[in-house]
Structure 1
Amino acid sequence: MACLFWFGMALLLFVLPAKSDDIPDGAHSTDCRDCYFVVTVDVSFTGEELHFEAVDETGVYPITQQYSAKCGYTVSVLPRTHQVELRASYFSCHTENKDDDVFTFNFNLISNHEGKQVTYALKKTCTPSLPWSPREVTCETNYMEVSVSSEMACPSGETSDDWNAEKPAPAAPDWQVVFHRAEEQLTPMNLSVAREQGYSIEMTDRRIVIRTAYGQPHSSSLEVNGVPVEVVHATLFSKQSWVFIIVDLVAACSMHEGSYHDSGYMVWETPELLNPLQSGLNNTEVNIGIRGELVQQPAAEERGFIVEKHDGLVEISIPYNAEGAYRKSFVSGGLHEFYVFNLYLEQIFVNKDHEETRQRYHRMLASPLLPLHVFTVNQAVVEEHEFTVYLGDVPDDIELSAVELNGHRCDAPFKNTSGHSVIEVFHPNNTHGYTLKVPFDDPVVLHQLSKEDEAMKHILEVNYTLTVLPENEPYFHLTSVVALSDIAPPEIDAVCAESGIIFKLDNRPFDYLWHISIGSDLLTPELATQKGYILTNDSQSLLLEVPLFTHGYVYEDFSLKGFTGTFEMLVKDRETSEVLSSALKTCQFTATEFIVCSTDGKITVVADLSLGGIPARSTLRSTYCGPKEADDTRALFHFPLNSCGSTVKLLNQRVTYQNEIIYSKRHFSESKVDSEPITERLIVQCVYPLAGLHRLFSVHKFESDTAGVGKIIRTSQSSAESQETTTVKPRLQELYVPKLNPAQI
């Protein structure tokens, strides 16, 4: 899978550029490493369609996939970084080499801008940070390279100084190479023929270098301790005068592709002894890094790497969150992720003569597609009547683009202006999350009565649309959250009005569980019509206007200034009729004249005597019964039904109690200054239905199921006239008055 990345960027065929520019600041970086040069280019500056050219005094050479393996170049795309990386061996083709100590690189970067090709010149001079070991082996992702010191050549009967004196130019026709494969010695060939077959064989001032792509016909594939190994074994030889010079070159590389363990480690293996020809070598040191930065084994282990040696193998375990590793989200039949590790490994071997071999690996290791699990947590607090749903473990290359709440879609950016909100939460491990808040009473929430739980079930189906960047691939994560809340009786609001009391309650889907009643009577449209209430009920709310003096009031605190009226609505359990809550409202009212007939047998009257006389001197039929309170025009009387000269009559299943308020005034005429007094009488009556009376005054107690109907009838007669009375039009119409609290009188 790693091969998808090392050369994933399209490398175009060479086209002569129109011009050469300086690359923009910040668009690239260059670095000289221990045995190679690296340049990194940001494609956001240069455009994605780019390629490199190597430049020397002989011309320019496009670095294609085939040419790069032959000439010591590696081009790779760094996942998620939008960067392209070019690594070049210090012994790569077209590199200016001075004494194997100073290396100068010249490259052209060709990029497309708005359909036009632009060429950027890149030049860098490097000096290796470490001296060359006698043998250097590089196992790149696309080629193998081995270089040996010229002192390791084996001239027959000559010293190394003789080698330096007699060494011919690299193109000398008398040099030949023979490849060995699985105990098979192949036919020798000239160096020019070897180069035509894809091999690079060079002789520098102090080194001999051979380079080959993987999978060449002359290489061998072995399995050492269960690990695949590729070996190239070449012998160079030449006859110089009467001296034979022989150079043995062996490169062996582990081809292990790495394996991902559920513990969160990427494991890569290489045999301690790669090839039997290396039997005299001892592995003394392992240095590890990601993206080209090597650290010694103890430092690497402090960063979470694990280095183990067992069964003839060196096993490197790379933590998934290693610095420099790449993680990528992916949608394929679900949400997945994979990890990419640019492993850089150095092994140092020493032979019996204490000659050192450095073997370096560049390996791009990719994990398989792993299930990626985002999760949701219902954090609702029922007491707050709000859903709080947390969506977590969302990687940083995934963003939330939309949320559907029971089918109602909200797209990013979330303005959080409605009843619900989405808040992003960031975490230090390069993940983030989203907190969704939706009140229970939001219109999108579904409600369902749960009789088993004796509670109200609030249901929210959430469909998150997650978008994987930069491909903008959508992934849908569904979850359902449920909250149970106690079923509370409805809350009834009440306000005072000049003409009575107004009650209001908001209708809810589950309000059918309760009955609203006035006393023992269920509130219905028929009851409202019968009792004189004004009832309005729709899908949103119930509104009940209760006019003053209609059935259900309790009156208290009587005075000439006014009185209080209290009305109560009850909320009862539908099945048991148990009173669960109530709405009790008391308001202050004023009236010029009224009469109240209580259920416990008392009459309260405020009478208007403004036609004359002195209200304070008025009495009932019994002159011993005067007003409780009086002012210039009115008098307040309060007395039992069977006292103060009251009379009682039984007629048509009704009981009528009657008394009179009597007061006198003088009559002024044209002939006389004074005339004999005229007596004014106000007849007060309370009528009770006989069926509702439990006791009469014969047992000294009065009880009635309902309040009486009161009347005030105004009459007038002189003291000389007969005692026959004349009924006049009442000042007040019949008043239906409910219970009077006797304790307040």
Structure 2
Amino acid sequence: MTFMLGFGVALILSMWTTVGCDVLAQGVLQMECREHYFMVAIDLAVTGPNPQFEAVDMTGVHALTEKYAAECGYSINILSFLGLVELRASYFSCHTKKNDETFVFNFNVNTSIDGKEVTNTLNATCSPPLPWAPREVSCEVNYMEVSVQYESACPHKLSEDWSSVRPAYSTSPSEWQVTFQKPDVVLAPMNFTEARKQGYLLELTNGRFVFRTPYGQPDSYITKENGVQVEVVHASIFSRRGWFVIIVDLVAACSTNQGMSSDGYMMWDTPEALYSSVSTTQFSIGLNGDLLGQENAKQNGFIVEKHNNTVRIGIPYNAVGGYRKTFVDGGIFEFHIFLMYLKQVSVDDYRRETVVRFHRTLVTPLTPYPLVTEDQTVLQDGVFTVFLGNVPDDMELTSIQLNGQQFKLPLPSDSTFMITEEVQPDNTYSYTLKMLFSDPLVVQEFSKEHAAMLHQLNINYTLMVPGGSEPYHYTTSVTALLDVSPPVFEANCTASGITFMLGHQPSDYLWEFSIGTDLLTMELVTRRGYIMSNNSQTLVLTAPLFTRGFDYRDVSLRGFYGTFEILVRDHDTSRVRASTIKTCFFESREFIMCSTDGMMTVAADLSGVVPSGQMPVNFHLYNKLCVPNEVNGTRVLFSFPVNSCGSVVKLRGNVTYKNKILYTPKKNKLRSRDNNEGVTVQCTYSINSLSRLFSVFKFESDTEGVGNIIHSVQTTPALPTTAAPLQIRMPIHLPAYQGNQYISGIYDLAGSFRKGKGSRQGKKNIL
């Protein structure tokens, strides 16, 4: 179990990313002489990912492999998540020049960068900042070490341990020997050289005995103290001095508790008394080698409490000096890492101190890490606003997919949408996406269920832990329902008509367009003379002047107002839902209008007809009583019913009403009929559109007539005595105009007009 957890931690640490630090000279980030060890931290950017350390002394160079480092008092920790490698060396480590006051360290650091092997040297001399306690115990991550003073070893109380050294009493009277004990088992003694071959180090320095052992040695055993698992190696060293024997009892005992996560804390337990006869115990706790006293630690959120002779340490997840990391494996997970440093000072009944120092790397289990999304869209703004929050500070948003189209971040300046990043108070990150409803990327479709336009945006965020191999994809979708408004054309006036333009929308299929009651189709456009273009983007319709659909107002020689209307109808019900009406002022020297109610309105220029020397003149139609509504020099404006003022009616497939604008010099006494110079004006109507004309003798046309102004000299026709050549085989009812009223009658096959019963009879020519 211990091996598996350690392997898992190593695997996770190997995936972490180097972060920036304040790099010191030659990549050394930190170098300190601490209470019981020397520490140096070096930037991995300088050493490469797999630096190799060597200890150097008078005997040569010694590679610090994993096994050799544990036996000789070195701990090498590659902390990829911090971007550094940390070496801790015990003051009693092998190859260290030492006495009880000064310790000299010499190391080689071998690196391989870009295939080039480089060796750098590192030297340091340390003096312990605090005096040694009678017994010092170090529970490092890869070994246990015990050192005791000679003086504290002398008043040894003989016990059953004495029986273990009796067999060696006569064999080696002056050589130091060691024997290992397990519960109910005493192993045969061996000398220090034999013990070294088995991975143990036993050493006598000036004033201290030192014993070191890696974890998991064959002579170690696991026990439980108040439910806490403890690894123990019990070694007794002895030597005969004359007529007495010196025995030193060296016990290495360290809690192997791996910690557990509970309610935002990483909890770790150790027995209060790892060594017997303890009367008082004090603790200092910290992270990354920094210690806080028990009370200060509690003020900083740590838990330090005793229960049933067990000390429980609680490290809050947000403790200063802790590390939170993100891991992607089919989802986002987080875990916390704490480089715990604990100092336990105990005093026994003889008032002798035992100081136990623990270095532990505590890792919380992987826990799912939820991202937060919120649709902050306000419909009235017409903008999608999507919030993605609780993004870990060691993750990056690298790209985003919108309705299937991928975009890398950062976005270009001409992007149609924007993403803003913010740091939140809890040190997480958030990203806010803003995109217009009208953006081409947004899917728009009509929802019959809601009778509204549905705007939909499917979002796929891609996030990555820098240096990690697996991206994480987070998807969400937002929609907006908008009431569908009928489309509105953009209308503009031109010199010759009115142009309407409409940008296509996904909702176009809900509507149909009409001019009056007639649907706007290509057939209608062709028949009426409109101009239309319709592509995937826009519909453009141009209605030239005097085409059907115009309504004219305030007609004068100066010009007139023309109004054209396009109706928007519901496709299913044909109900008019909206319209676009455009009124423009038009200027024209000549124009003619033939209305549906039988009015001919014409502005004509007779400058090519009236000799300049004859001005002023009087203008009139065939009927001299029909005079202009407005005169300006040679320009005149007439407005009269088509079947009045002497108009001539012509039937040949259509019905044409023809008249002529004549002039008479004011000083000339000639009658108008003797003057044949003028301008012919005519309106032509389709017989099919004049159905009421032949049934109730009332002029109502379904469509406007087609007008013409003819500048030519024609002789006023004489009344014929015989009928004009007509393709008519039966009498046709046409109204005649008398005063302001139409009267009913019949044009016979000879072209004569007969009034109805009781009316006087007259004649009209049919041309």
TM-score (norm 2): 0.80
Return the letter of the residue paired with 1:282. T
Matched, 1:294 2:291: yes
Matched, 1:578 2:575: yes
Map of 1:208 onto structure 2: 209
Matched, 1:463 2:464: no
CA spacing shift, 1:79–1:306, aligned 2, 3 Å: farther
Residues of 2 paired with 1:417 and 1:219: CA distance?
69
CA spacing shift, 1:559–1:364, aligned 2, 3 Å: same
Contact 1:7/1:76, CA 8 A, preserved across alignment:
no
Matched, 1:76 2:77: yes
CA spacing shift, 1:652–1:8, aligned 2, 3 Å: closer
Return the letter of the residue paired with 1:403. I
Matched, 1:265 2:265: yes
Contact 1:552/1:568, CA 8 A, preserved across alignment:
yes
Return the letter of the residue paired with 1:61. H
Residues of 2 paired with 1:346 and 1:358: CA distance?
7
Map of 1:590 onto structure 2: 587
CA offset digits 1:514-571 (Å, max 9, x no partner): 1111112111112112222122223222221211101111112322232221211111
Cα deviation for residue 4 of structure 1 reads 5.6
Matched, 1:318 2:315: yes
Return the letter of the residue paired with 1:46. T
Contact 1:139/1:359, CA 8 A, preserved across alignment:
yes
Aligned counterpart in structure 2 of residue 329 of structure 1, from 318, 326, 334: 326
CA spacing shift, 1:632–1:353, aligned 2, 3 Å: same
Residues of 2 paired with 1:718 and 1:186: CA distance?
150
Return the letter of the residue paired with 1:225. N
CA spacing shift, 1:463–1:500, aligned 2, 3 Å: same
SS of equivalent residue, structure 1 residue 91? coil
Map of 1:743 onto structure 2: none
Map of 2:26 onto structure 1: 25
CA spacing shift, 1:315–1:664, aligned 2, 3 Å: same
CA offset digits 1:578-597 (Å, max 9, x no partner): 33222222223222222224
CA offset digits 1:258-296 (Å, max 9, x no partner): 1223x332221222233xx5243332x221111111112
Aligned counterpart in structure 2 of residue 280 of structure 1, from 278, 281, 285: 278
Return the letter of the residue paired with 2:80. P
Return the letter of the residue paired with 2:145. E
Residues of 2 paired with 1:618 and 1:172: CA distance?
158
Map of 2:117 onto structure 1: 117
CA offset digits 1:164-222 (Å, max 9, x no partner): xxxxxxx9953233333224433333233322222222222232221111122222211
CA spacing shift, 1:198–1:601, aligned 2, 3 Å: same
Q: Which runs of 5+ in 1 are unaligned?
A: 11-22, 158-170, 669-674, 726-745
* Greater relative contact order (CA < 8 Å, ≥ 6 in sequence): 1
Question: How does 1:7-22 map onto structure 2 within 5 Å?
Answer: none
Map of 2:632 onto structure 1: 631
Cα deviation for residue 664 of structure 1 reads 1.0
Cα deviation for residue 106 of structure 1 reads 1.3
Matched, 1:505 2:502: yes
Contact 2:29/2:43, CA 8 A, preserved across alignment:
yes
Map of 2:518 onto structure 1: 521
Residues of 1 paired with 2:478 and 2:109: CA distance?
55
SS of equivalent residue, structure 2 residue 472? strand
Map of 1:245 onto structure 2: 246
Cα deviation for residue 704 of structure 1 reads 5.7
Return the letter of the residue paired with 1:518. I
SS of equivalent residue, structure 2 residue 506? coil
Map of 1:304 onto structure 2: 301
Return the letter of the residue paired with 1:594. F
Matched, 1:553 2:554: no
Return the letter of the residue paired with 1:51. Q
Question: How does 1:131-280 map onto structure 2 within 5 Å?
Answer: 131-155=131-155, 173-261=174-262, 263-274=263-274, 277-280=275-278
Question: How does 1:702-741 map onto structure 2 within 5 Å?
Answer: 705-710=702-707, 712=709
Question: How does 1:641-720 map onto structure 2 within 5 Å?
Answer: 645=645, 661-665=661-665, 678=675, 680=677, 682=679, 705-710=702-707, 712=709
CA spacing shift, 1:693–1:354, aligned 2, 3 Å: farther
Matched, 1:348 2:345: yes
Residues of 1 paired with 2:369 and 2:427: CA distance?
14
CA offset digits 1:692-735 (Å, max 9, x no partner): 78999xx999866544454556787999x97899xxxxxxxxxx
Q: May I ask how many residue pairs the two structures share in their alignment?
A: 686
Contact 2:459/2:475, CA 8 A, preserved across alignment:
yes
Cα deviation for residue 382 of structure 1 reads 3.5
Cα deviation for residue 346 of structure 1 reads 1.4
CA offset digits 1:642-686 (Å, max 9, x no partner): 88x567979799988776644214999xxxxxx998364556555
% identity of equivalent residues:
49
CA spacing shift, 1:49–1:156, aligned 2, 3 Å: closer
Residues of 2 paired with 1:316 and 1:41: CA distance?
30
Contact 1:560/1:629, CA 8 A, preserved across alignment:
yes
Question: How does 1:88-103 map onto structure 2 within 5 Å?
Answer: 88-98=89-99, 100-103=100-103
CA offset digits 1:90-134 (Å, max 9, x no partner): 221222223x23222111112224434322111112222222222
Residues of 1 paired with 2:655 and 2:673: CA distance?
37
Question: How does 1:359-438 map onto structure 2 within 5 Å?
Answer: 359-427=356-424, 429-438=426-435
Cα deviation for residue 75 of structure 1 reads 0.6
Residues of 1 paired with 2:13 and 2:623: CA distance?
118
Residues of 1 paired with 2:632 and 2:659: CA distance?
21
Return the letter of the residue paired with 1:144. M
CA spacing shift, 1:219–1:295, aligned 2, 3 Å: same
CA spacing shift, 1:198–1:717, aligned 2, 3 Å: closer
Residues of 2 paired with 1:58 and 1:718: CA distance?
140
Contact 2:28/2:40, CA 8 A, preserved across alignment:
no
Map of 1:672 onto structure 2: none
Map of 2:129 onto structure 1: 129
Residues of 2 paired with 1:147 and 1:533: CA distance?
107
Q: Which runs of 5+ in 2 are unaligned?
A: 15-23, 158-171, 722-767
Residues of 1 paired with 2:690 and 2:681: CA distance?
20
Contact 1:664/1:679, CA 8 A, preserved across alignment:
no
Cα deviation for residue 430 of structure 1 reads 4.8
Contact 1:606/1:635, CA 8 A, preserved across alignment:
yes
CA spacing shift, 1:127–1:491, aligned 2, 3 Å: farther
Contact 1:517/1:572, CA 8 A, preserved across alignment:
yes
Residues of 2 paired with 1:577 and 1:266: CA distance?
72
CA spacing shift, 1:434–1:130, aligned 2, 3 Å: same
Return the letter of the residue paired with 2:335. F
Cα deviation for residue 629 of structure 1 reads 2.8
Contact 2:173/2:239, CA 8 A, preserved across alignment:
no
Residues of 1 paired with 2:11 and 2:686: CA distance?
105
Contact 1:32/1:128, CA 8 A, preserved across alignment:
yes
Map of 1:42 onto structure 2: 43
Map of 1:19 onto structure 2: none
Contact 2:147/2:211, CA 8 A, preserved across alignment:
yes
Contact 1:227/1:254, CA 8 A, preserved across alignment:
yes
CA spacing shift, 1:480–1:647, aligned 2, 3 Å: same
SS of equivalent residue, structure 2 residue 26? coil
Contact 1:228/1:256, CA 8 A, preserved across alignment:
yes
Residues of 2 paired with 1:6 and 1:463: CA distance?
32
SS of equivalent residue, structure 1 residue 194? helix
SS of equivalent residue, structure 1 residue 483? strand
Map of 1:735 onto structure 2: none
CA offset digits 1:67-106 (Å, max 9, x no partner): 11111110111132231111011221222223x2322211
SS of equivalent residue, structure 1 residue 526? helix
SS of equivalent residue, structure 1 residue 152? helix
How well do the aligned residues superpose, as a CA RMSD in angstroms? 3.8
Map of 1:61 onto structure 2: 62
